[in-house]
Amino acid sequence: MPYLSTRALGGLKQYEYKSGGYTWLDDLHQPFWNWVTAHLPLWLAPNVITLIGLAGLLVAYIVAFVYLPGFAGEAPAWVYFLGGTAAVTYLHLDCIDGKQARRTQSSSPLGQLFDHGCDALAVHLLLTTVACSLNLGGTWKAVAGSMFIMVPWGFAHWEEYHDGTMLYGNGVWGITEANYALVILHYITCVTGPQLWDYNLQQVFPSLKSPLPFSHAFLVLVGIAGCQQLGGQIWRMLFTAPSVRLKGKDAGHKQLGYPHAISHFLQITLVLTIGILAMLEATRHQIPMHGRAVAASFGVTYALQSTRLIMAHMTKEPFSITLWPLLLLAVGIANDRLLYFNRTAVAWTILLVLLSGYLHYVYSVINQVCESLNLTCFTIKRKEA
């Protein structure tokens, strides 16, 4: 059974992207991005550019897994350099792909879907390698650090579904600035080693009443920014009633209004809550291969649910989370608690099932969209004269 109905594919054809605005750093980079785009070959498909960036993140993720399976320890300096280089490359390629699409006159809803779908998976890949560079280990601190980013990022798409525009940042600080912060963090670790992040700031600020590692101070700053972002999203969505502004073709068959906005908020919260519980349960056991599998399982679940929400927005269709990934995560939590079977074996089995389901969804949806729009995903199709 196809994932997208005929009606959904019809709604996708009417999709128009609405930018949420740019920050000062975005504006500063525009000449550079335009220059790079102008020197790309005209046969290079925009989705290939996006995929190259994602592949770089995946390589850095795998290398960090090999050298730092427990999210902590000291790896060769080049491992951290690779993490930073992969992150900054993805940042720039993610901004160039759309320009290449316009340059080659190949802009389409497929490109927007592919771009945001890759972003959904990239969030987990980026944050996992950052946890390694911060030397956080398989602890609640690594979970909290990830959630400070993943929660507002996920709810940004909730807001986009109801309001029609994706807002992430405050006009001064946005996605580009956040990505650069992660890149700089990687490069600092490359130069100094991860032990820098364990330095106790109480030695510099004796007035502190308790020890404060550098990494904890960084997490506090990220947490403040994340809470500010989430607070703005909730305020705009639940107290300024933006969803009533979507009319006609922009509304399509979406589930709009306060009841649906709250329902979607609670559904996304359920996904995040189960993921947090699964990862926190894994921190109790401190088994590196087990913790890695659980974190990756939530990363895949997060990417799947986010991509489905993005798809619902673009097709102007009703949205609801898919439950089977949450049931698998719940099974993992129960097994970790009761130890019916080997924890690590169960965690990796769950990950493989989730990854298979995610890849099947992505592959099937891309094929459906390509067929509906008469496009190819990784090549630029010549327009008929």
Contact between residue 73 and residue 161 where contact means Cβ atoms under 8 Å apart: no
Provide the token pair at 44.
Answer: 């290079």
Contact between residue 274 and residue 283 where contact means Cβ atoms under 8 Å apart: no
CA distance 187 to 85: 9
The phi-psi region of residue 86 (left if phi > 0; otherwise alpha if psi is between -120 and 50; otherwise beta) is alpha
Contact between residue 17 and residue 314 where contact means Cβ atoms under 8 Å apart: no
Q: Please report, for residues 11, 124, 238, the alpha-carbon distance to residue 77 in angstroms, rounded to integers and kept in the order given.
A: 49, 22, 46
Count the alpha carbons within 13 Å of 226 in the hemisphere toward its beta carbon.
18
92 is catalytic: no
Residues 6+ apart with CB under 8 A from 105: 383
Count Cβ atoms within 10 A of the Cβ of residue 5 and give its class: 0-12 exposed, 13-18 middle, 19 or more buried: middle
Catalytic residue among 29, 92, 116, 285: 116
CA distance 149 to 145: 7
Contact between residue 301 and residue 361 where contact means Cβ atoms under 8 Å apart: no
- Listed residue (165, 141, 320, 155) closest to 226, CA to CA: 155
Provide the token pair at 316.
Answer: 């102007």
Provide the token pair at 153.
Answer: 């990022």
Provide the token pair at 238.
Answer: 């639940």
- Listed residue (304, 272, 298) closest to 351, CA to CA: 298
Active site residues: 116
